[in-house]
Chain A
Amino acid sequence: MDSTGIVIGFWVLSAITVVSSLLVLVARNLMHALAFLVLAFLGMAGLFITLSADFVAVAQVLIYAGSISVLMVFAVMLTPLASRDNGNSLYVLPGVVAGLGIASLVAFVAVDTEWAERTGAALAESDFASTVGEVGRLLLGRYVLAFEVASVLLLIGLLGAIVLVQERRRAATQSPDEAADTGARDGGAL
């Protein structure tokens, strides 16, 4: 049996998460959608805390709410003439159908299956124990190869992003006006 706080926290946080995800879907303005997305990320971090995953929850806040949403904000800023509405494409009906299908399928499976789940005392003993040390040991022990590959992936991502958006330097032989012009028009290889 869980404590009262966990139960209340679960319902409140899952309501926040699901409702703000829905608002991301229906918001008219892209920036509003982004604000709701951050709220959804934060609610998700709260859900992680109710699962006594402290390290992952804080990492979620740091990476999603702190970095990825800021990256999105930057992308919105760097595309000034593009439309700011959060409009739907032609595929809205297939999208809704697919989303509803997946959600109902997962919900059906989750409710219908008899999970071999820990309850009661076995669950309570893992409540709010520190996970940092154990996760660190796993990352540098059993999953060390995956850890290194992930770090290489991050490095490649960093370099790739720089190379993609780098403006081609042909300014040496051109006048500054021309250089600015071409640089703005075709700034890289697509």
Chain B
Amino acid sequence: MNLPGGDEVTVTLAHYLVVSGLVFGIGTTIALSKRNAIAVLMGIELMLNAVNLTLLAFSRFSSAFPAGEEPLSGHAFVVFVLTVAAAEAAIALAMAVLLYRRRETVDLDRVNLMRW
């Protein structure tokens, strides 16, 4: 694609990595700063998504693989990440529900069972 000025515009690996880094940073902020357990889980899912984007971007752009030797390994990794994310979400949300049953809250600030 060429801009009207004649500069060529293209999307490179760095573009995807920057987007991935931004989403990962936002996810980190959410996971660290939210009070609600479910919101924290949202942040973690965003972080996993950013990692998936990185894996796929490397899988497409990287020439580190010798030709013909499974360039789609990144895709397989992403499938595993998706699997783990699904299992993790199920368990974490079950724990949130359980926490609510015991304490009638899902605020992580008020979960201080372990403190003296």
- Chain A residues at the B interface, C-beta cutoff of 8 Å: 1-4, 6-8, 10, 14, 17-18, 21-22, 24-25, 30, 33-34, 37, 40-41, 44, 47-48, 50-53, 55-56, 59-60, 63-64, 67-68, 71-72, 74-76, 78-79, 81-83, 85-92, 94-96, 98-107, 109-111, 113, 115-119, 122-123, 126, 131, 134-135, 138-139, 142-143, 146-147, 150-151, 153-154, 156-158, 160-161, 164-165, 184-188, 190
Contacts and interface: CB of A to CB of B under 8 A. Distances in A.
Given A2-B1, A115-B13, A154-B83, A30 B38 contact: yes
Interface in B1-48: 1, 8-36, 38-39, 41-43, 45-46
Contacts of A95: 28-33
Interface in B65-116: 70-73, 75-76, 78-80, 82-91, 93-102, 104-109
Where chain A touches its partner, the secondary structure class is helix
Contacts of A156: 87
